[in-house]
Structures are given as C-alpha cells and as structure tokens.
Amino acid sequence: MKFVEFKSVFFLLIAVMLLLVGCSSSAGEKSDTTKDGKVKLRFATWDVGDDVTLQQDMIDKFNESHDDIEVVLESYGSEYDTKITAGMGAKDAPDIMYMWNYPQYKDALEPLDSYLEKEGDAYKDNFYETLWNYNSADDEILGLPVGYTTHVVYYNKALFDEAGVDYPKSGWSWEDLQDTAKKVANKDSKVSGFAFSGKPDPYDFEMFLWSNGTSYVDKEGNLKGNLNSEKSVEVFEMFQNMAKDGYAITTEGSGTTEMKSGKVAMFVYGAWGLTPLKEAGIDYGVVELPAFKSGKSVSILSSSGISISKNSKHKDEAFEFIKFWTNEDANKERIGFELPVLKSVVESEQLEQDEVKSVFYSMLEQSDGYTPASFIVEDWSKVSENLQYTFESMLNPSTLMNPKEALNSAVE
C-alpha cells in the first residue's frame, strides 16, 4: 500500500514536471523581444577574460546606436562547442555565434550569400579572398570573417645569438631549417633546435603536405593514393627523422610550453603565440614557413567568423549586427587580439610594414586556393581521429611506426 501511495505522488510530480517544462518552453518563445519592444539577439562567444570585456564594450556601443535591437553577450569559454552543440540540439541555439568548424555545423547555419549580394562587390572584396573559402561550406558562405591566423616559424633570438647563427629568412627550405636547427641545438645546455607536436592536429598538419604538392584527400574525398602517396610519406619521414636525430624534440602539446622555457630555438605556431611568448619574456622573431624542395611555402588557416543561426527569428537584425562586428572600427578595436581581416584596415594601420604581423599576411596571401580535407570529407571528425592516431604512432618515440606502413594501413 505504501508503494501505491508513493506511486501516485510520483506521477503527480511527473505531471508537475511536464507542466513546468511546458511553461518554460512557451516562455522561451516570448523572450526574443525585451520588455520595451526591442528585438533581443543572443550572441555567443568563445573568448574569455579581457577579450570578453572588449566585446561587451563593443556590444554596448552597438546597442546604444540601435533603438530597435538589443544584443546580449553569452560567453561560453572553453566549453564553447559543447554548449553550441547542446543548444542546437535543444533548438535553443544563440541567434549569432562565433564559428570556425563550418562543415560540422553547416546544417544549423544561415547561408549569407543573398545578404552579401545586397551589400555589393566592393564590400565583399575588402575581405581577403582566402578567408571566404574558410568561412563557407558546400559553396555557401556561412559566416563573415572576424579574425584568422596563418602558421609561421617562431624563433628564439637569444638562442640564435648564443650559437652565432643567422636568423632564418623568408624563402628558406626545410633543409635550411634542419641545418639551422642542428647548429643551434646544444646538448650540454639542453637546447633543442626545433620542436614540433608529437601528436599533431591533423587539420593543421595538412599544410606540410600541401607544401610538398599533395594533400590527405582528392576532390572526391578519397584518402587512398593521397594520404599514402610518395610525397606524403616523404613529409612524415622528414619529421620522424628530425626527432630521431636528436636535435629536435616532439612536444606533448602545441609546443608553446617548451618554447616558453627558453630551451627551444624554433617551432611552428599561429598568432596565438604572440602575446603569451612575449609575457614569458621570450625575445622572438617570426618568419614564413619553409618550403619543400619541389613545393612552396604554404600555411593552413585557422579562421574565426561570425554566423547566424538558421533558427533565428530575426535574421535581418542579426545580419545588421554581424556587419557591425566585422566593420573597420571593429577590426581596429580587436587589433590587440585578432589580426584584422579587412584590406583597408591592414593598409591604414600599416600592418604590411609591421615586422611581425606582416609575416602572417604574406603567409595568408601565398596560401590561397587550398581546401582543407575537413571541408571535403563528410565525417571529418572521425577521419581526423584516425589520422591523429596514425600520426602519433609515427612520431611517438615509443612506437615510431614506419610512415609508409602506417599510412598504408590508415587508408584501408
């Protein structure tokens, strides 16, 4: 009898719960306008700390100048992808969001081509062309470029001076890099000539294959004959040999930690390293990536854009905001955090003359026309996981798999 009673209370509570859920969802539909009749837009950012403060200031400016729109910033931090994913699953995604992994989220994002047409060609042309490729999926533009980084070689000036070696110069080759690394490396003071990830992110690593005239997949997305091509094997053999020879080390993370320690002469990284390395007191220089003998110096892009949710009820207002977010003033405001993406801003701020930042722009200009495998392969996240495993098996010092065999088995 006790049980029966408990059951009835239990069902009563379930009913209460369902009622609550019902209420909250109907309340959610109402909340896209504020009390004073403004259109309310939710904007999700992945940034943390000072970047968010800056973003809030910029949003305040936007809200002041727009009587009919109010943008609310939601800062998701490092759990960004998880929260966006969950939001999309619950049909409660923010109206506007930062975006980088377009192929994975394409079904939930609003295509922007028709909006851009209205703005005219001059508007679109002011952005660097390469960036549009990275902010699209399936030939549809899904986001406006906000920031980007190419990859460059950072070098520790102090270690070069100590070893009496000239700083690397643009137009160098991987052989030059190896020679330089050997010269700067010093067993006694535990200085390594070059550091690279022993567990590279497959997305980033593809640039080395491009640079040697190949890629993971062909246009149809086939790994076979591409990932295990001779030229691809060459790239992996080169990296494996660098680690085997002892003048270079493989790192557990990106290599920033090792570079910060002041015991590493060179490593490849994006613009994310600029501030942290400076704060760690490393006097560094940057130079374009080296090229393979028969190839050219080319980098993959890590780009960030701003997108509109397909489920947003106020897409025109949202587009108004993302236009604001990518205009010249906004690019200038963000200059301490992001490399500007507008040609006019790069010119007016004279970034082409900047010793450090110009390197990222020249890498950007010479990297046009490449499409990362993540934009071609349908289930990239799975493929990427397998690739990462394969790369690690070649570069991990306790396995050091033969590249040819490893890549052959990876394409199967």
Partner 1 sequence: MRNITTKKTKSYQLVNRKVPYLFILPWIIGFLVFTLGPLILSLIMSFYNWPITSEPTFVGIDNYKTMFTADPQFYKSIIITLKFAAIFVPLNLAIALILALLITQPLKGMKFFRTIFYLPAVVSGVAISIIWGWIFNSEYGILNYLLSFLGIEGPRWLVDPKWALLTIVIASAWGVGIMMLIFYTNIKGIPAELYEAAAIDGAGPFRQFFSITIPSITPTILFNVITSVIGALQQLTLVLLLTGGGPLKSTYFYGLYVYNNAFKHHQLGYASANAWFMFIVILVLTMLIFKTSSTWVFYENEVKKEGKKGRRKNENIKRI
Enumerate binding residues for partner 1 (CB under 8 A). 1, 5, 9, 13-14, 16-17, 20-21, 81-82, 85, 88-89, 104-108, 198-199, 249-250, 252-253, 257-258, 261, 263, 379, 381-382, 385, 389, 392-393, 396-399
The nearer residue to partner 1, 289 or 406, going by C-beta atoms, is 406
In angstroms, what is the minimal distance from the CB of 105 to partner 1? 6
Residue corresponding to tokens 């690394």: 181
Q: Return the beta strands (E) in 239-357 as ranges.
A: 248-251, 266-269, 284-287, 302-308
- The answer to whether 149 and 274 have CB atoms below 8 angstroms apart is no
In angstroms, what is the minimal distance from the CB of 23 to partner 1? 12
The nearer residue to partner 1, 14 or 335, going by C-beta atoms, is 14
The nearer residue to partner 1, 9 or 335, going by C-beta atoms, is 9
- Other residues' Cβ atoms within 10 Å of the Cβ of residue 309: 24
Rg, the chain, Cα only: 25
In angstroms, what is the minimal distance from the CB of 28 to partner 1? 15
Determine whether 176 is exposed, middle or buried from the number of CB atoms within 10 Å of its CB (0-12, 13-18, 19+).
middle
In angstroms, what is the minimal distance from the CB of 280 to partner 1? 13
Could you give the 3-state DSSP secondary structure of residue 369?
coil
The nearer residue to partner 1, 130 or 197, going by C-beta atoms, is 197
In angstroms, what is the minimal distance from the CB of 197 to partner 1? 11
In angstroms, what is the minimal distance from the CB of 33 to partner 1? 26
The nearer residue to partner 1, 201 or 333, going by C-beta atoms, is 201
Residue 263 one-letter amino acid = K
In angstroms, what is the minimal distance from the CB of 227 to partner 1? 18
The nearer residue to partner 1, 84 or 342, going by C-beta atoms, is 84
CA-based nearest residue to 197, from 19, 23, 391: 391
- The answer to whether 304 and 168 have CB atoms below 8 angstroms apart is no
- The answer to whether 266 and 180 have CB atoms below 8 angstroms apart is yes
Determine whether 57 is exposed, middle or buried from the number of CB atoms within 10 Å of its CB (0-12, 13-18, 19+).
exposed
The nearer residue to partner 1, 36 or 378, going by C-beta atoms, is 378
Q: Are strands 302-308 and 284-287 parallel, antiparallel or unpaired?
A: unpaired
